[in-house]
Amino acid sequence: MKKTESYEQLVVRFQKRVPQLQERLREIREGDIPRLMEEERKLELDLARVEGSLQCVEYLAYGKLPHDGNHGGMKDHKPEDNVVPFKRHGSLDALD
């Protein structure tokens, strides 16, 4: 995490990146081109990493547990008060 990024900024960035990766993965799978199989594997890993990062930041910022089947019956919690409040600094497109 960059020193200038808050949890909310990270959530916005990851929420933007997940659909981008999902769309590219869909394009590759529909194209059925063998040379893109390595790119497909890389995208699957990137997508899993970004989704995991998003879950981590949501947990740290909001106390929200992932709904991945491993946390069934567990309640979300209130995060610590040491979280820096969200402050928008213009466009986040430069962070991608």
The DSSP symbol for 5 reads: -
16 falls within a domain? yes
13 falls within a domain? yes
Q: Between 62 and 87, name the one with better pLDDT.
A: 62
Give the pLDDT score at 45: 93
Give the pLDDT score at 18: 93
Task: Give Cβ neighbours of residue 60 (< 8 Å, ≥ 6 apart).
Answer: 7, 79, 83
80 falls within a domain? no
The rounded mean pLDDT for the chain is 77
Q: Is the dihedral of CA 86, 87, 93, 95 positive or negative?
A: negative
21 falls within a domain? yes
Percentage of the chain modeled with pLDDT above 70: 64
75 falls within a domain? no
96 falls within a domain? no
47 falls within a domain? yes
77 falls within a domain? no
pTM: 0.60
Task: Give the H or E element holding residue 45.
Answer: helix 37-62
Overall number of domains in the chain: 1
Separation CA 89–CA 6 (nearest Å): 11
Q: How far apart are the first and last CA of the chain?
A: 13
- Span 14-27, average pLDDT: 90
Which structural domain range is residue 15 located in? 1-63
